[in-house]
Amino acid sequence: MKVVIVCVSVSHGNTARIAETMAKVLEARVVSPEEVDPAELDACDLVGFGSGIFTMDFHPRLRRFVRDLPEKQRRKAFVFTTSGLPEPPFRRYVRRLAGLLGRKGFDVVGTFACRGFDTWAPFKLVGGIRKDRPGTADFEAARRFAEGLGGGPACGENVSSPGS
């Protein structure tokens, strides 16, 4: 199975560490949007798309990359993110990116989210929040999620530890 994971991780490397954990399981290459030729994704069985959350959305570089992808025949994809806070019910950014990927010809077969060290402006004043995230339980959840991607729909959300 050929798998590529497209990841933007600019703040603390939180999402990159989750991407690397998944990549080990899937024997995937982790690339930034600027490093990958969209044509390369055509040859993939599965493509991962992930970033931290910035002002209640995926990183603009990831969103732009997805927006500019040509529409193709059906391929499989998964979406993952790290963020300081859980996704609010009034701003479903995971569903939105998955919807955009669907319009580009991807079947989104799984989504994964966990908390990450967050020094967004209001939290910077107190030294940041979720200082030890992603942590052991998050990496374990990411590993299990990646293992499940070979089969049917997968949904990972590490809610096993405080602050999830």
Ligand X SMILES: Cc1cc2nc3c(=O)[nH]c(=O)nc-3n(C[C@H](O)[C@H](O)[C@H](O)COP(=O)(O)O)c2cc1C
Q: Which residues bind ligand X (CB under 6 A)?
A: 9-16, 52-56, 82-85, 116-120
Considering the complex, state which of residue 24 and residue 103 has its C-beta at the smaller distance from ligand X.
24
Helix (H) or strand (E) holding 64: helix 60-68
List Cβ neighbours of 8 (8 Å cut-off, separation of 6 or more). Answer: 15, 32, 33, 50, 51, 52, 58, 59, 61, 62
Q: How far is the CB of 43 from ligand X (least distance, A)?
A: 27
Considering the complex, state which of residue 52 and residue 156 has its C-beta at the smaller distance from ligand X.
52
Angle, in degrees to the nearest 10, between helices 60-68 and 93-103: 20
Considering the complex, state which of residue 106 and residue 117 has its C-beta at the smaller distance from ligand X.
117
With 0-12 CB in 10 A as exposed, 13-18 as middle and 19+ as buried, what is 80? buried
Sheet holding 46-52, edge to edge: 29-31, 3-8, 46-52, 75-83, 106-115, 154-157
Q: How far is the CB of 36 from ligand X (least distance, A)?
A: 17
Q: How far is the CB of 61 from ligand X (least distance, A)?
A: 11
Q: How far is the CB of 96 from ligand X (least distance, A)?
A: 14
Considering the complex, state which of residue 76 and residue 92 has its C-beta at the smaller distance from ligand X.
92
Considering the complex, state which of residue 73 and residue 90 has its C-beta at the smaller distance from ligand X.
90
List Cβ neighbours of 126 (8 Å cut-off, separation of 6 or more). Answer: none
Q: How far is the CB of 74 from ligand X (least distance, A)?
A: 29
